[in-house]
């Protein structure tokens, strides 16, 4: 491979590399934009579909819970009324089956909503009841509790071979109940199963009251909870524990119903999601287009010389003399619109135009200041460079080319770098070292707004530190940062760094900084960014120009 020996050849190679990099970066950005737009387009409908799914499940689970609670409540009420009636009969002073007791039985039967018949029982046969004195065998009980309570599930009804009743017996009395009563809600939903189950029974025993498919294993899912919903096979199941008895209400809805419910909700949500998706994708593409067109405009602006510099005076705080200026870039588009560096510098960094922009800044600074600097060698001009510039060699070459042209000497220049965003600290250290080796001062800009600690600052080997405007603003106020400035000053003094306060707006702030021996200041108190001729006039109007910033290099 042939090596470049001339600066023109090196410049050409560099431009080729930059072009290649830009092409790759633009392709990558385009791919990212398309992916992001696709994501923005699809995400809302997908979220709407998921929400419809969640909503359908929640609605059905809620419905199942309501049925389970209803069944449980009815079963509780049935047992409560039965035990209440039995207690009344057991406490009555009349003998079993005496006329007084028969009248009481009829009264209980009439006033109860669940009891079909209530009567006196002996040896498993109803001897007399609210229905008369016909003996009625109860059959085998399915449950016997420790307190003597017995439950029968298949009591035959006289004259009706199809119906079976349930019975609760205690203290010689029995209440006959219709097993279907707690379950009569089932008609509402086809395929729904309902049950009221005793929680303490063995799993192989028949169910107490149930309709449809019911799995006793569902009760285990209740654990110690009051109620639970879950899916099992083809069902969405709800189980609720009775607050009165060791029993549970169960309701199971067919899962096959869920898609229909989901579709109803989806029909409402998904179109809104699609509209939101289209709007978001369109907004994203518009933004990307605006950024792309701004990036194109930026390159065109560079070609058409739409950039110019303004300079903000820097004063020596003790003397009040203007001893330098910070060069601040401005972009006036062909439309007349003025765009601030806060907008176009990040854009230039993202689109790979920053090196060309920094080169233009140096050209403009050289053009604006070289005659004045030749006559005023102690005056300094501070130039901002981006963190991206710091991570590559061209910046040093740009300064070399500028110095080689004459007019401006290294001692006139201060390079401002910001502590935020330096990713390749080694590369930045090399560039800073190279600039300082040429006699150019390097200052850390906006100090305190990043994460740089003392050791980080020490490792960068800079000459000056610019205290960020936010800390100057806090001087003399009750803001939590009002103490920070004194710490920054103490630290910079200990490291023998020259200090420049940014954004000084009031005489009180200037007094404070002067008392703390801060050397330099800039801000609206002394002057806003302005054309260089105005700054030059300000500098030459004073008796002397303070040489301290330039002289400070010796301390570092
Ligand atoms: N409220 C208030 N503001 C004050 C006061 N004194 C100065 N300022 C503003 O504070 C900013 C100081 O510049 P910076 O910290 O270097 O911050 C600069 C610098 O980081 C960047 N920048 C400007 N020019 C260039 C450039 O040529 N190259 C690069 N890479 N960055 C630049 O853009 C930033 C913003 O620059 P500007 O918009 O010109 O804003 C300037 C200036 O107009 C004051 O007393 N009160």
Over residues 191-237, the pLDDT tens digits come to 899 998 888 765 555 556 788 899 989 999 999 999 999 999 899 99
Mean pLDDT of 255-261: 84
Q: How many Å lie between the centroid of ligand 1 and the Cα of residue 461?
A: 23
Sheet of 115-122: strand order equals 136-137, 125-129, 115-122, 173-178, 160-170, 150-157, 141-144
What is the pLDDT at residue 129?
93
- Ligand 1, residues at Cβ distance < 6 Å: 312, 328-329, 340-342, 345, 361, 384-386, 416, 418, 445-446, 469, 502-503, 505, 522-524, 529
Q: What is the ipTM of this complex?
A: 0.94
Amino acid 207: pLDDT: 55
Dist CA 537 CA 234 (whole Å): 89
Chain centroid, CA 438 distance in Å = 48
Instruction: Report the chain's C-alpha Rg in angstroms.
Output: 45
Mean pLDDT over 402-421 rounds to 89
Task: Say yes or no to pLDDT of 46 above 50.
Answer: yes
**Which residue in 449, 527, 451, 447 sits closest to 495, CA to CA?**
447
Atom of ligand 1 nearest to the CA of 522: 6
Residues with Cβ within 8 Å of 5's Cβ and at least 6 positions away in sequence, in order, are: none
Quote the Cα angle for 324-326-331, to 5°: 145
Q: Would the pLDDT of 468 be above 50?
A: yes
Q: Closest ligand 1 atom, CA of 386?
A: 30
Ligand 1 centre from 546 Cα, in Å? 23
pLDDT band at 15 (very low <50, low <70, confident <90, very high): low
Q: For the residues 295-305, what does the mean pLDDT come to?
A: 91
pLDDT at 454: 66
Q: Tell me the pTM.
A: 0.58
Comparing 377 with 549, the larger pLDDT belongs to: 377
Q: Per DSSP, what are the bridge partners of residue 210? A: 195
Please tell me the predicted confidence (pLDDT) of residue 435: 95
∠196-199-205 over CA atoms, to 5°?
Answer: 80
Weakest-pLDDT range from 210-214, 291-295, 308-312: 291-295
For the chain, list the domains and their CATH numbers: 28-304 (no CATH), 309-550 (3.20.20.450)
Q: How much is the average pLDDT of 407-435?
A: 88
**pLDDT band at 522, cuts 50/70/90?**
very high
How many A from CA of 328 to the centre of ligand 1? 6
Site to probe by mutation for ligand 1, drawn from 384, 394, 444 as the one with most ligand atoms within 8 Å of Cβ, is: 384
Kindly report the average pLDDT of the chain as a whole number: 86
Q: Is 523 helix (H, G, I), strand (E, B) or coil?
A: coil
If you average pLDDT over residues 267-290, what whole number do you get?
85
DSSP 4: P
Compute the distance from residue 419 Cα to the ligand 1 centre, in Å: 15
pLDDT band (50, 70, 90) for residue 544: very low
pLDDT band, residue 543 (cuts 50/70/90): very low
State the distance from the centre of ligand 1 to the C-alpha of 343, rounded, in angstroms: 12
pLDDT tens digits for 482-514? 788 898 899 889 889 999 999 999 999 999 999
pLDDT higher than 80, residue 126:
yes
| Mean pLDDT score, 342-366 | 91
User: Which of 328, 362, 364, 467 best tests ligand 1's pocket when mutated (most atoms within 8 Å of CB)?
Assistant: 328
Q: What is the mean pLDDT of residues 224-252?
A: 92
User: In ligand 1, which atom is closest to the CA atom of 348?
Assistant: 30
Query: Ligand 1 pocket check: which of 324, 341, 391, 464 to mutate, most ligand atoms within 8 Å of Cβ?
Result: 341
Residue closest to 416 by CA, chosen among 375, 464, 452: 464
């Amino acid at each position: 491979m042939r090596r470049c020996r001339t600066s023109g050849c090196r410049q050409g190679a560099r431009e080729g590399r930059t072009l290649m990099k830009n092409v790759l970066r633009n392709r990558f950005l385009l791919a990212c934009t398309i992916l992001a737009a696709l994501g923005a387009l699809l995400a809302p409908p997908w979220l709407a579909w998921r929400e419809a799914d969640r909503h359908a499940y929640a609605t059905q689970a809620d419905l199942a819970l309501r049925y389970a609670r209803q069944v449980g409540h009815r079963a509780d009420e049935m047992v409560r009324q039965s035990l209440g009636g039995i207690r009344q009969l057991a406490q009555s002073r009349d003998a079993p089956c005496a006329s007084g007791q028969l009248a009481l039985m009829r009264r209980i039967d009439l006033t109860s909503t669940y009891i079909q018949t209530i009567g006196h029982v002996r040896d498993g046969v109803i001897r007399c009841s609210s229905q008369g004195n016909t003996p009625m065998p109860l059959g085998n009980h399915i449950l016997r509790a420790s307190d003597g309570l017995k439950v029968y599930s298949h009591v035959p009804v006289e004259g009706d071979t199809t119906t079976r009743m349930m019975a609760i017996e205690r203290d010689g009395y029995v209440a006959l109940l219709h097993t279907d009563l707690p379950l009569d809600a089932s008609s509402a939903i086809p395929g729904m199963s309902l049950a009221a189950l005793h929680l303490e029974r063995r799993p192989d025993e028949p169910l107490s009251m149930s309709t449809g498919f019911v799995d006793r294993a569902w009760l285990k899912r209740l654990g110690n909870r009051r109620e639970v919903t879950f899916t099992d096979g083809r069902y969405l199941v709800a189980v609720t524990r009775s607050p009165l008895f060791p029993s549970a209400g169960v309701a199971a809805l067919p899962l096959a119903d869920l898609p229909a419910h989901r579709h109803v909700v989806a029909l409402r949500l998904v179109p809104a999601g699609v509209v939101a998706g289209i709007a978001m994708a369109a907004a994203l593409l518009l933004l990307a287009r605006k950024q792309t067109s701004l990036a194109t405009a930026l390159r065109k602006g560079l070609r058409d010389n739409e950039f110019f510099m303004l300079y903000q005076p820097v004063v020596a705080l003790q003397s009040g003399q203007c001893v330098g200026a910070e060069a601040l870039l401005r972009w006036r588009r062909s439309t007349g619109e003025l765009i601030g560096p806060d907008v176009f510098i990040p854009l230039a960094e993202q689109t790979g135009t920053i090196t060309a922009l920094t080169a233009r800044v140096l050209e403009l600074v050289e053009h604006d200041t070289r005659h004045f600097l030749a006559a005023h060698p102690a005056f300094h001009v501070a130039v901002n460079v981006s963190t991206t510039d710091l991570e590559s060699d061209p910046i040093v070459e740009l300064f070399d080319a500028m110095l080689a042209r004459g007019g401006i000497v290294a001692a006139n220049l201060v390079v401002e770098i910001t502590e935020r965003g330096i990713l390749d600290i080694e590369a930045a250290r090399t560039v800073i070292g190279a600039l300082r080796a040429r006699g150019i001062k390097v200052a850390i800009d906006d100090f305190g707004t990043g994460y740089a600690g003392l050791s980080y600052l020490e490792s960068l080997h800079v000459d000056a530190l610019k205290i960020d405007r936010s800390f100057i603003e806090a001087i003399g106020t009750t803001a939590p940062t009002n103490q920070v400035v004194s710490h920054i000053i103490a630290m910079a003094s200990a490291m023998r760094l020259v200090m420049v306060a940014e954004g000084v707006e009031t005489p009180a702030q200037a007094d404070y900084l002067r008392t703390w021996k801060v050397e330099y200041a800039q801000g609206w108190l002394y002057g806003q960014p302005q054309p260089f001729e105005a700054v030059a006039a300000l500098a030459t109007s004073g008796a002397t120009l303070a040489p301290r910033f330039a002289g400070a290099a010796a301390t570092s």
